[in-house]
Amino acid sequence: MINNIAEIKDDILMSIKDIESVEQLQTIRVKYLGRSGILTNLLKDLKNVNPQDRPLYGKLLNDTQRFIEQNIDTVMEKLLSRDKLLREKSESIDVSFSKITAKRGALHPLTKVKNEIINIFIGLGFSVEEGPEIEYTKYNFELLNIAADHPARAFADSFYITNDIMLRTQTSGIQARVMEKQTPPIKIVCPGKVYRPDADATHSPMFQQIEGLYVDKSVSLADLKYTLELFAKEFFDKDTKVRFRPSYFPFTEPSVEVDLSCAMCHGKGCFLCKNTGWLELLGAGVVNPIVLENCGIDSTVYSGYAFGIGIERATMVKYGIPDMRLLFENDIRMLEQFK
Ligand SMILES: [Zn+2]
């Protein structure tokens, strides 16, 4: 029996030496100290031992029981503290870890300016009309009194798809389409992309326009000036002045170039206005009666005015941008300034 007990001590030390989990250790505890455990059974057998030997064996078994408990407890503590560490490590938050952030988007400056211009005219009673970017020459030219021998019709000045289908060079085709199907009063703005084969610091093969048209009884150049002044004061500031210079467009008669007092230098002269104090912003005029008649509107009853603003030009003037190409490069450093 003494040999047995010595073996039990060796066995227990061997089996807990490489133990990996609390569960395995519990199994060993049950194997030795459980209700039918090896040591429990030896203790039960004590009553069969010779009475004079019984105290010695009893003491030996009790010592062994304590030995097993102590060893199991020591290993148990190690396993529990190891598990706690692992748990803490997996649940911990590294506060020094750099934050992953999504950059917030913003509208492109051209879109912002376009929306701003549209909203000003909506406030003045205009509605918004759109039309096709691939247009018949009839709407882009003929109905607008641009004759076949007009310089703008030379093939080099437009992108043609067939002889009578082209990328529109202006949004005026929308005006012709609306006048054709609607009786006055007509009060519309037509925003959209237009295409011309030009490319330099102030021209791009694709740019955006917003054209306005107001046709009703007794609409005059004075109405045009009043409307554009209201627009300019709203778009720039309330001190902005408007100047008309005589010009020529086939679809308006009389025609004017509209200049606004420079928003940057207030007329003193700067790089933006090329030291003139004035910014050329748009072309306008009273709708040529021929155009009204071409579109089925009686020019003896109705008259109208029309104007066209370049969105890129308006954006450059408003924000003092010297080169139009900056607006198309999509350099994030430039775009972020308009957030
Ligand atoms: Zn200026």
pLDDT digits (tens, 9 = 90+) for 248-263: 999 999 999 999 888 7
Dihedral of CA atoms 211, 217, 221, 224 in degrees, nearest 10, equals -40
Q: What is the pLDDT of residues 24-35, one digit of tens each?
A: 888 888 888 888
Distance 311 CA to ligand 1 centre (A): 19
Of the CA atoms within 13 Å of residue 45, those in its CB half-sphere come to 10
Considering the domain architecture, whether residues 129 and 259 belong to the same structural domain is answered as yes
The whole-number pLDDT of residue 112 equals 94
Distance 273 CA to ligand 1 centre (A): 4
Considering the domain architecture, whether residues 139 and 69 belong to the same structural domain is answered as no
Name the residue range of residue 42's domain: 2-90
Q: Is residue 272 part of a domain?
A: yes
For the chain, percent of residues with pLDDT exceeding 90:
44
Q: At what angle do helices 22-33 and 54-91 cross, to 10 degrees?
A: 170
CB 96 within 8 A of CB 42: no
Distance, in Å, from the CA atom of 295 to the CA atom of 302, rounded to the nearest integer, reads 12
The whole-number pLDDT of residue 156 equals 66
Distance 318 CA to ligand 1 centre (A): 11
Q: Is residue 231 part of a domain?
A: yes
The whole-number pLDDT of residue 193 equals 95
Considering the domain architecture, whether residues 320 and 280 belong to the same structural domain is answered as yes
The whole-number pLDDT of residue 222 equals 94
The type of residue at 249 is F
Distance 338 CA to ligand 1 centre (A): 21
Confidence band for 52, pLDDT divided at 50, 70 and 90? confident
Considering the domain architecture, whether residues 80 and 200 belong to the same structural domain is answered as no
Q: Is residue 104 part of a domain?
A: no
Q: Which residue has the higher pLDDT, 152 or 73?
A: 73
Chain centroid to Cα 44, Å, comes to 81
The whole-number pLDDT of residue 246 equals 95
Strand intervals (E) in 1-62 = none
Q: Is residue 96 part of a domain?
A: no
Distance 237 CA to ligand 1 centre (A): 14
- The total number of structural domains in the chain stands at 2
CA nearest neighbour of 281 among 318, 227, 233: 318
Distance, in Å, from the CA atom of 112 to the CA atom of 122, rounded to the nearest integer, reads 15
Distance, in Å, from the CA atom of 74 to the CA atom of 274, rounded to the nearest integer, reads 89
The whole-number pLDDT of residue 49 equals 82
In this prediction, residues 42-50 reach a mean pLDDT of 83
Cβ atoms < 10 Å from Cβ of 199 = 11
Distance 246 CA to ligand 1 centre (A): 22
Q: Is residue 22 part of a domain?
A: yes
Q: Is residue 99 part of a domain?
A: no
CB 178 within 8 A of CB 213: yes
Q: What is the pLDDT of residues 130-167, one digit of tens each?
A: 999 999 999 999 898 888 787 767 766 889 999 899 99
Considering the domain architecture, whether residues 75 and 155 belong to the same structural domain is answered as no
Q: Which residues surround ligand 1, an ion (CB under 5 A)?
A: 262, 264-265, 270, 272-273
Q: Which of 13-17, 64-68, 219-223, 330-334 has the highest mean pLDDT?
A: 219-223
Distance 85 CA to ligand 1 centre (A): 70
